[in-house]
Structure 1
Amino acid sequence: MSGDSSGAFQPYPGGGLGDPADAKEELRKAIRAHRATRTPRQRLDAAVAFADVLETVPAVRDAAYVAAYAARSSEPGTHVLLERLAARGARVLLPVLGTGLARDWAYYEAGEQLRERAPGRPPEPGGPTLGAAAVARADVVVVPALAVDTTGRRLGQGGGWYDRVLGLVPDGVTVVAMVFPDEVYDGAVRPLPTEPHDLPVHAVATTEGWRRLGVTETAERARTAR
C-alpha cells in the first residue's frame, strides 16, 4: 500500500490494482483506519462543513425531495445536513435496511431521534417504510463512500447496497458522494478499482467544496443498462 508523496493521506495498492476485489478491500481497510483517527470534535466540525458545502450544490439546494443517509460515527457526518434540509421543508428519505441486502426507505422528520437497530448498522428513522422504489421520488441522492475518483468511480463499504439503490435512481437525477478531501482520487493517475456491478456518481462533496465528476462512457453504460 503506497501513500501520496504530497503529504496527504491517500493509500493506493503498491502493486497496482491487480484483482479489483482484493484492491478494494486493501483500500477499504486503510481508509477506515485513517477515518478512525479523527476526534469527535473534528467529526463535528466536518459535519458542519459538509452541510455548508452541500447547501451550495444546486441539485441539493433546490430539491424538494432528498435521498440521503444517516452517517455512522466514522463516516462524513450528515446530522447537520439532515436538520437543515428538514428545517427548510425538504422531504428527506433515509435508508432502512432489511434482511440481507433488502432495500427500503422512510422519511426523516426534523428533530427525530434515529434508532440503531443493531450494532454497526446505520441509524434509521422510525416511521413507516416506503419500499425500495421510493428513491425514485428524490430530486437528488446523497450517498456515502470511502473514496471517489474524478471519473465518478465510487468505493463503497463492500455490501453492494448502494449499487443496487443507484440502479433505481431515474436518469437525470444527480448522485452526490460525500468523502473527506484526501479521499478524492485522480482518475487518470490513481483510478479506483471497479467491477462490472459498480455504478458511478455524478458529483463529490468534501469539507472544502464540491465538483462535478467526469463519468466514463463505460460506467454510464453500466448504469443505464440496469
Structure 2
Amino acid sequence: MSDGAHLSWHTPDDEQVAEAKDALRREVRARRGHVSPRCRDELAQRLAAVVLTIPQVAAAGCASVYASRPTEPGTGPLLDALAGRGVRLLLPVLGSGLQRDWAEYTGPDDLRERAPGRPPEPGGDALGAAALAQADVVLVPALSVDRAGVRLGQGGGWYDRVLEHARPDAPLVALLYADEVLDGLLPRSAHDRPVTHVATPEGWHAVADAS
C-alpha cells in the first residue's frame, strides 16, 4: 500500500501499539472494500496459480487452508485446485468463545456461513485443535505482513493461538495482496509466530528473517 508499505513502529506503549495496528487494519479493509468482485475473482485465480508453485505446497499431502470472506484475497480457486490434486484439506471451525477446531473440506457445497461475518466452514465432524499437526503446510489469512514475517491478523487472535498446534517444520504461508507486504516492522508479541512465506497474486517469497 502506498503509505503503509514504509511504516515502522517503535512505540513501547501497548495501547499505542494496539491503536497503530487498528489504524492499519482499517486502512487495509477500506482498500480491500474498493476491489470489484470481477477483479477479486481474477486475483483469486492468479493467487492460486502462485501458491501452487511453492514447493512445499506442491508436495503436500495434507494442507490447512481457509475459506475466504468476500473482501479477502480469494481462496476458492486454490481450494478447488488442491482438492483436485487429492490433497487432504483442513479448514478452521470456530466454536463458542473462538474455540479452535478443524474439519475436513469436502467441496464448496459443504461450506456454510454459521454466523454473520464469520468465514464459511465445513459441515463435517470436528477434528480437534491438534489436527493442525497433520498439515504439511499451513496457509493463513493476513491483513499485512512485515519483512520479518510478523503477521497482522483481524485482531481476534484466533490464528495466533491455533498455530501453537502446527508442526515446527510446517511452512506458514500468508495470503494477501502485494501492497499489503510492509517494508517496515510491525510490533511483535511473545506469542507471535512469524510466517515463513508470503504469497500474493504477483508472486511468493520466503521470509529470510522468520524465526
1:71 to 37, 51, 68: 68
Cα distance, 1:22 vs structure 2: 1.5
Distance 1:54 1:12 in 2: 22
Cα distance, 1:13 vs structure 2: 9.4
Distance 1:196 1:171 in 2: 16
1:27 to 24, 28, 42: 24
Cα distance, 1:170 vs structure 2: 1.2
Contact 1:65–1:139 (8 Å) recurs in 2? yes
Contact 2:9–2:186 (8 Å) recurs in 1? no
Of 111-120 and 154-163, the range deviating more from structure 2:
111-120
Give the TM-score taking structure 1 as reference length: 0.87
Cα distance, 1:158 vs structure 2: 0.4
User: Stretches of 4+ moved more than 4 A in 1?
Assistant: 12-17
Deviation per CA, 1:153-202, whole angstroms, max 9, x where unpaired?
Answer: 1001000000011111111110000010001111xxx2122222222100
- Structure 2 residue matching 1:205: 3-state secondary structure: strand
Higher helix fraction (1 or 2): 2
Distance 1:101 1:117 in 2: 13
- Structure 2 residue matching 1:100: 3-state secondary structure: helix
In the alignment, what sits opposite 2:118?
A: 121
Unpaired runs of 5+ residues, structure 2, are: none
Give the TM-score taking structure 2 as reference length: 0.93
Residues 1:206 and 2:204 are matched in the alignment: no
In the alignment, what sits opposite 2:162?
A: 165
Cα RMSD for the two superposed structures = 1.7
In the alignment, what sits opposite 2:191?
A: 197
Contact 2:43–2:201 (8 Å) recurs in 1? yes
Cα distance, 1:12 vs structure 2: 6.8
Distance 1:211 1:108 in 2: 27
Paired positions, count: 207
Deviation per CA, 1:52-91, whole angstroms, max 9, x where unpaired?
Answer: 0001001111100000111000111001000111111000
Identity among equivalent pairs (%): 52
Distance 2:188 2:8 in 1: 16
1:97 to 84, 87, 94: 94
Distance 1:102 1:124 in 2: 14
Seen in structure 2, the aligned counterparts of structure 1 residues 167 and 50 have a Cα distance that, compared at 3 Å, is: same
Unpaired runs of 5+ residues, structure 1, are: 1-7, 221-226
Cα distance, 1:149 vs structure 2: 1.2
In the alignment, what sits opposite 1:4?
A: none
In the alignment, what sits opposite 1:62?
A: 59
In the alignment, what sits opposite 1:5?
A: none
2:105 to 90, 105, 108: 108
In the alignment, what sits opposite 1:44?
A: 41
Seen in structure 2, the aligned counterparts of structure 1 residues 76 and 215 have a Cα distance that, compared at 3 Å, is: same
Distance 2:7 2:77 in 1: 37
